[in-house]
Structure 1
Amino acid sequence: MNDSLPTALAWVNGSDAPELNSIDVGFMPLTDCASLIVAATQGFSQPYGLNIQLRRQTSWSSLRDNLVNGELHAAHSLYGLVYAAQLGIGVAAQDMAVLMGLNQNGQSINLSTALQQAGVITPEALDRHTHQSGTKLTFAQTLPTGNHAMWLYYWLASQGIHPLEDVESVVVPPPKMVEHLKAGRIDGFCVGEPWGASAVNQRLGFTLATSQTIWPDHPEKVLGCSLAFVEQYPNTARALVMAVLEASRFIEGSLDNRRSAAQMLSGVDYVNAPVEDIEARLLGHYSDGLGHEWQDHHAVSFHRNGEVNMPYLSDGMWFMTQFRRWGLLREDPDYLAVARQVQQLDLYRQAASALSIEVPSSPLRSSQLIDGKVWDGRDPAGYARSFTLHALAGAAPDANEH
């Protein structure tokens, strides 16, 4: 498949062979599960002595529970899901692991046609409507501790809208978002693709913001598992990372590879959505439903020479700062110590080096978010306390899915 394969195959011989020949790996029907699907079905795992059995999940909470109880060996996971399980938020605490990043970018905040017809088509108009209409809008996200809740809260707060006081927040599984929007049960949602594009294509609403406008090249889905899995089956975990790294690199090898990935994802066993709902935004072609079209320079990415896949300590810590900000954590954890336990940096470095994929020199990275704040991981407790809008005492969101 590539020139690095002979070096990589050294890992599967003798004592380095995977302890398990077949593993159950969960995923949610979203565009950003692509690298797992490609790894499992296009011959990227077999050279490492590994058979990936894909297990489609119905909700993030069921995926989390199956990951924690051992029904799944590993899964396409939300960063926030892994860290909430680690910290015992919404579920009994269990030591967890992030093996690698699966993607960056590629989520969206959509509003309903009713709001569009009312002229609520800009952040400023949404701010006015929220504070003047007298009724609370209802927004859906996918898990109270998940990425989409954090993107929704962060974006609303950056526009002066308090996500815990000014609006109602409910949990809806990703494939059900469009149905809920159509039925009028929600006024908007934050979710991964292709469901934002699907709502636009069905003329059921419009995309008001993308997650990459909140944080360009933000961390998104990860390859998650229990720490016990890594400790008990280290060679299997490394082989899985190598197979998914190869698949990630393949997807970004050409536009045709992305198109073929979109075609595959559209199948009933995977995302089960029209290929046109998946392909455009996978290629970075955006249409917001308001007549605007653009080529997004921070569209969903799966590899980018390894920059996407590094399990940065700062990425994991950021989600904990948001848990603290919104009252999901009552006290500051030892941010760095927890991230060092969860992020499997040594295993990732082994896998990437064997594939001649560059490993960033620092486990921290610096980014500027939509509100102008710079996050670099150096003072997580101070960062968590620095926000004007945050949870008041006793106003923490419910960490359980309804």
Structure 2
Amino acid sequence: MTHTSLDPRTAWVAGSDGPEKTCVELGYMALTDCASVVVAATQGFAQPYGLRINLHRQHSWAGLQAKLASGELDAAHALYGLVYAVQLGLSAAPRQDMAVLMGLNRNGQSLNLSSALAAEGIDSPQRLAAWVKAGGRRLTLAQTFPTGTHAMWLNYWLASLGIDPLTQVQSVVVPPPAMLDHLRAGRIDGFCVGEPWADSAVTEGLAVTLSTSQAIWPDHPEKVLACTRAFVEAYPNTARALTMAIIEASRFVEQDLDATAHLLSAHQYLNAPVERISHRLHGRYEDGLGHAWLDPHPLRFFDEGRVNLPYLSDGIWFMTQFRRWGLLREAPDYLAVATQVQQLDRYREAAQALGIVCDPADHRSSQLADGTCWNGQDPESYALGFPIGCPGSA
């Protein structure tokens, strides 16, 4: 699988354009969507830019956040909401300015209930909603981080079913690889997580998949390449070189998903069977209820660069959800915060140097499954306009 670049990029290595810091400490979680950072570090994409990427697998998003904020990690494969939580002072880590260098992937997360509940007849979103509204026992549903994407997908999905995620279920934090152990022990009734852990739960008969994150928002933003703003300002050439290496790796991942699955299956990365990574990496889903499909919005890493552009509207959306669920008691300056965090100009410089044509727009428009349209405009009205949420937090 090793990549050898044929493009002359010595201009990015020599002289004033060379990386100020040539060894980058990069954190990641054991998830399929860490693929591009693993490929960049191990398959020859960093060296042409004068970089060495040292990978550090983390055991929880909380641990990754703390190390990223403290500088122990230079950069990380990170949840969108994790970055904005530090930026806005909503996490245990000290508040500081953060940076999103690029998007790493879209789509590919799923919402699952235990097979025990499915056996009781709670085997569809509609039956789940009816059961909760009828006063069934309060379910314990897991997500991976309080401000992370999985918490936001879980909340959004439940609310779209008429279930208040703050009062009608109990939400708990479980690191992704620990979801299966919690299911086996009966500590949780369901979860939202990235792959390969949902496919593994279905394959082992522990859970059924009731929905996917891309069913909520087709081509939604997911993980990002993140660092502190201080790192970008101290090492701008390094940040550009790292971005370029991972853009190239992202393109390569989509060209060879099978080789990527084999690489990720190794014990030092996901430590999971190849087929459990490969199925949903290719967009092949089985829900554990006898249904199988090829998803029209599978996990994507590049898509001609569309995945990687850090649109302002993507960052703003997560802030609207913080506001919706009461994590932000007052409206932030949505656009100003996103403009500071999302490194649009730096990304475009890196992408254009690789010959990738970038969308000139800073916002994109998306239609979500509940009929709402998100385009980054009037975020406060959007945040407080849902029938289920925390409009009283103003």
Superposition TM-score, scaled by structure 2 size: 0.97
Q: Deviations over 1:104-124 (max 9, x none)?
A: 000001100111101111111
Contact 1:4 1:354 in 2 (8 A): no
Asked if 2 retains the 8 angstrom alpha-carbon contact of 1:5 and 1:355, the reply is no
Q: Report what 1:376 is aligned to.
A: 375
Residue 277, structure 1, aligned to residue 279, structure 2? no
Q: CA deviation at 1:2?
A: 8.4
1:353 CA displacement: 0.4
Determine if contact 1:111/1:188 at 8 Å carries over to the other structure.
Answer: yes
- 1:90 alignment counterpart: 91
Alignment CA distance shift 1:314-1:2 (3 Å): farther
CA contact (8 A) 1:251 1:261 kept: yes
CA distance in 2, matches of 1:156, 1:303: 30
- Residue of structure 2 equivalent to 1:214: 216
Partner of 1:339: 338
Equivalence for 1:118: 120
Unaligned runs of 5+ residues in structure 1 are 397-402
Q: Which one of 241, 246, 249 corresponds to residue 247 of structure 1?
A: 249
Match of 1:349 in 2: 348
Give a deviation string over 1:304-339, Cα, whole Å, max 9, x none: 000000000000000000000000000110000000
- Could you give the per-residue CA deviations for residues 111-152 of structure 1, whole angstroms, max 9, x where no partner exists? 001111011111110011112244200000000000000000
Query: Could you say if the C-alpha distance between residues 159 and 14 of structure 1 is closer, same or farther in structure 2, counting changes exceeding 3 Å?
Result: same
**How far off is 1:370 after superposition?**
1.3
Please say if residues 4 and 355 of structure 1, whose CA atoms lie closer than 8 Å, have aligned partners that are also in contact.
no
2:181 counterpart (170, 179, 182): 179
2:97 alignment partner AA = D
Contact 1:164 1:391 in 2 (8 A): no
> Map of 1:32-47 to 2, 5 A cutoff?
32-47=33-48
Alpha carbons 2:324, 2:391 under 8 Å: kept: no
The CA deviation at 1:199 is 0.2
Matched, 1:385 2:388: no
- SS of 2:246's equivalent in the other structure is helix
* Runs of 4+ residues over 4 Å off in structure 1: 1-4
Q: Percent identity?
A: 62
Find the aligned partners of 2:357 and 2:378 in 1 and give their Cα distance: 27
Q: 1:248-271, CA deviations, whole angstroms, 9 ceiling, x for partnerless residues?
A: 011112xxx101100110111001
Work out which of the residue numbers 162, 165, 168 in structure 2 matches 1:163: 165
CA 1:67/1:16 → structure 2, altered by over 3 Å: closer, same or farther? same
Q: Distance in 1 between matches of 2:318 and 2:11?
A: 36
Q: What SS is found at the alignment partner of 2:106?
A: coil
CA–CA separation in structure 1 for the residues paired with 2:285 and 2:98: 35
Match of 2:7 in 1: 5
Summarize the alignment of residues 1-400 of structure 1 with structure 2, pairs less than 5 Å apart.
Answer: 5-6=7-8, 8-91=9-92, 92-253=94-255, 257-391=256-390
Shift in Å at residue 358 of structure 1? 1.4
- SS of the counterpart of 1:330? coil
The 1:177–1:234 alpha-carbon spacing in structure 2 relative to 1, beyond 3 Å, is same
Q: Which amino acid aligns with 2:208?
A: F
Measured in 1, the distance between the counterparts of 2:140 and 2:5 equals 51
SS in 1 for 2:141: strand
Give the C-alpha shift of residue 49 in structure 1.
Answer: 0.2
SS in 1 for 2:184: helix
Give the secondary-structure state (helix, strand or coil) at the position aligned to 1:186: coil
Q: Which amino acid aligns with 1:385?
A: L
- Give the SS at the match of 2:73: coil
Q: Give the Å deviation of 1:13.
A: 1.8
| In 2: Cα distance, 1:140 partner to 1:373 partner | 25
Calculate the aligned-residue CA RMSD, in Å.
1.3
Any unmatched runs of 5+ in structure 2? none
Deviation of residue 393 (structure 1)?
A: 5.0
Contact 2:101/2:224, CA 8 A, preserved across alignment: yes
**Letter of the structure 1 residue corresponding to residue 367 of structure 2:** Q
Does 333-342 or 272-281 show the bigger shift?
Answer: 272-281
Contact 2:5 2:48 in 1 (8 A): no
Distance 1:50 1:200 in 2: 39
Amino acid at match of 2:139: L
